[in-house]
Amino acid sequence: MRKEIYQGNIIIATAAEWHEFVKKYKGITGYISMNGCTGLTSVTFPDKISGSISMDGCIGLTSVTFPDKISGYGYIYMNGCTGLTSVTFPKESGYIYMDGCIGLTSVTFPDKVSGYIYMDEKTSEYLLSYGHKKTIYQINNVQFDKPLFDQVRHGELSASQVFAIRDMEQRRVAYEKMDKIKMKELEGFAVIDKVEDDGKGYPMQVVQFSLPGFKEPFRYLACHCPTEGRGYFLETRETECWKAKSASFGLPADIEWAAEY
């Protein structure tokens, strides 16, 4: 049978579908997504790939070999391939995402990366210590520089250090990862107002504490995003939850919250 180039996007969900694909086609122009192919243990991609590759939850995979070059946009996304121990990337690639690949012990990165290599805190220690110059480190899709990334994921920051982080998203993630008992270490820490239900099933609190070198206490509204459930600490000068929430949106303190999305 004469092999052809597959044109378009394809989703492969089983090992049988993958074997049928490589038997019939010598490459692809488009997007190939391999989701939950638990029966696959080893994958060698065809030589002719123009597009992008996504491998999500292929927990049975132990090794992956890509062609020398992926043309086109050329991003590679690997998520939750927990059994993966060895990867040989193309010599040239665009963006590479490595999330939750906790078992990697052998990786050959491209000689040329036109984009960036993204890693999260669930990536293997081997990979995180690799130190590729184009690596971007993320926790819950929030970017950190490597030193702060390591401090947050290892729980090394004190509560005062967490609240001293200027970037709001970084501070939120650092607080989520922090052992909450550390809050008691803060001088003058107190919950000065509390709401059991913000209308979306989440509690709200206004907390206050002091930090050395500052005359005025720090005050934060502890609240949640109504759509995603993410917890936030928003700096405030208000002493009541609802007033603090209104102020965070630049609204009058006496506004009545009827609905939120």
CB 68 within 8 A of CB 46: no
CB 93 within 8 A of CB 72: no
Give the pLDDT score at 89: 87
Give the pLDDT score at 135: 92
Report DSSP state, residue 69. Answer: B
Give the pLDDT score at 99: 87
Give the pLDDT score at 139: 94
Of the candidates 172, 153, 150, the residue with the CA atom closest to the CA atom of residue 162 = 172
Going along the chain, which residue ranges are E strands? 4-7, 10-12, 25-35, 42-44, 48-56, 63-65, 70-71, 76-79, 86-88, 92-93, 96-99, 106-108, 112-113, 117-120, 135-139, 142-144, 187-195, 204-210, 218-224, 231-235
Give the pLDDT score at 1: 55
Q: Which amino acid is at 151?
A: Q
Give the pLDDT score at 131: 74
Of the candidates 174, 173, 194, 183, the residue with the CA atom closest to the CA atom of residue 244 = 194
3-state SS, residue 170: helix
Of the candidates 96, 62, 94, the residue with the CA atom closest to the CA atom of residue 81 = 62
Of the candidates 144, 63, 2, 192, the residue with the CA atom closest to the CA atom of residue 78 = 63
Which residues, other chains included, contact 162 with Cβ-Cβ below 8 Å and sequence gap of 6+? 171, 174, 175, 178, 182
pLDDT in tens, the chain (261 residues): 567 898 999 999 888 999 999 889 988 898 999 988 878 888 988 888 888 899 998 888 888 888 888 876 678 999 888 888 888 888 888 889 988 888 888 888 888 888 899 999 988 888 888 878 889 999 989 999 999 999 999 999 998 899 889 898 999 899 888 887 888 888 888 999 999 999 889 999 999 988 777 788 889 998 988 888 888 888 899 999 999 999 988 898 888 887 776
Give the pLDDT score at 258: 77
Give the pLDDT score at 143: 95
3-state SS, residue 160: helix
The token duo for 177 is 């990862």
Give the pLDDT score at 130: 80
Give the pLDDT score at 101: 87
Q: Which amino acid is at 34?
A: M
